[in-house]
Amino acid sequence: MQDIKTQTDLDFLVRNFYKKLLSDEAISYIFTDVVKVNLEHHFPILVTFWSQAILGTGGYTNNLTQIHLDVNAKEYLSPQLFSIWINHFNASVDENFKGENCEKIKTQALSLATILQIKIAKENQ
């Protein structure tokens, strides 16, 4: 297995990850009902986001926290949902890639999940 090296790899990863999210009814409703995410619009944004984080390219300028606070205002993003999200993300990485960037992307995902949960907990106080 190869490491995550290119935006094509990231595109493959995010599509594989979303297949898992959307086939798990414990979390899929967030993407299909709460926010009706247009996947073909969403995937390139996710690729740009992870490319900036992992491959050192730029280009992501949105406010990730505010976007998730807005989702949370519609439907509570519970610790259980974050745990499901992280499990599918890690599984997608580990089933398809191996190497330094894989460890980097999983660490980043976990630390962002932690930060988002802290902000959501504050917002919901």
| Site of interaction with ligand HEM (CB under 6 A) | 30-31, 35, 37, 45-46, 49, 62, 64, 67-68, 71, 77, 81-82, 85, 109, 112-113, 116
Least distance in angstroms from the C-beta of 61 to ligand HEM? 8
What is the C-alpha end-to-end distance of the chain, expressed in Å?
44
Supply 89's token pair.
């993300």
Q: Which two tokens stand for residue 12?
A: 């493959």
State whether residue 40 is helix, strand or coil. Answer: helix
Question: Which of 88, 85, 93 has the alpha carbon at shortest distance from 12?
Answer: 93
Q: How far is the CB of 13 from ligand HEM (least distance, A)?
A: 12
User: Which of 22, 81 has the CB closer to ligand HEM?
Assistant: 81
Of 12 and 49, CB closest to ligand HEM: 49
Q: Which residue is nearest to ligand HEM (CB)?
A: 62
Distance of CA 35 to the CA centre of its chain: 15
Residue 16 vs residues 36, 73, 121: alpha-carbon distances, Å? 19, 27, 29
Residue 105 beta carbon to ligand HEM: minimum distance, rounded to whole angstroms: 9
Work out how close the CB of 17 gets to ligand HEM at its nearest, in angstroms, rounded to a whole number.
10
